[in-house]
A = this chain, B = another copy of it.
Amino acid sequence: MSDRRTEILKAATRAIARRGVRGLRVGELAAEAGVSTSLIYYHFTDRAGLLRQTLEFISDRADHYTTDEDDPAPRSRDPRADLERVLLGELQDSTDVRENSTAWGELRATAVFEPSLREDLARTTHTWVHDIAELLARADPTGTAPAHAAAAERLTTLVEGLSVRWLSGSLPLDHARRLLRGAVETELRG
């Protein structure tokens, strides 16, 4: 990925996290990223293309803080701890996580009104669910694949829900993390 392209996507994520998707102006984004608006259109064609690529950028960035940098697929001797670590990675009080989660939630909410985002959002969501289902399969080898898939859908949906409750001031972060740990325990109890 070119450095300029990455800089634009970083700036777009930051801008969405600060002012929302509907507050995103390509002109302001260009100024913030230190590039021309024509370079943004060159890389992303149009506003919808920029939003779609930002969605993927956010998803890739989440992979970095939820997994070990040196070993992106966590395979420790404690698969249950790996699962918890990856899920809880989405609920952390760091600038990166807060920015990423805010932008992700905002793109999710915007897709209700902007159908052009839906396909990419569904695909990115599916990849995330798939990754969590794999971790569940390692933590609970006796369970069935459909059971792991359903649990992964519930756990990732819960992460999204807890995240927006936290960011909208309805839930303190430590309590959100406790509820998520409880959900992992509940899902693995079966």
Contacts and interface: CB of A to CB of B under 8 A. Distances in A.
- Chief secondary structure at chain A's binding surface: helix
A170 interface: yes
A159 B162 CA distance: 11
Give the copy number: 2
Interface in A157-175: 157-162, 164-165, 167-171
Interface residue tally of chain A, by bracket?
35 or more
B170 A118 contact: yes
Interface stretch (A58-66, A72-80, A81-89, A179-187): A179-187
A36 interface: no
B170 A121 contact: yes
Nearest to A183: B154
Given A20-B22, A154-B158, A109 B111 contact: no
A29 to B, nearest CB: 17
Contacts of A169: 111, 115, 118-119, 121-122
- Centre residue among A19, A117, A154, A171 by max chain B CB count within 10 A: A154
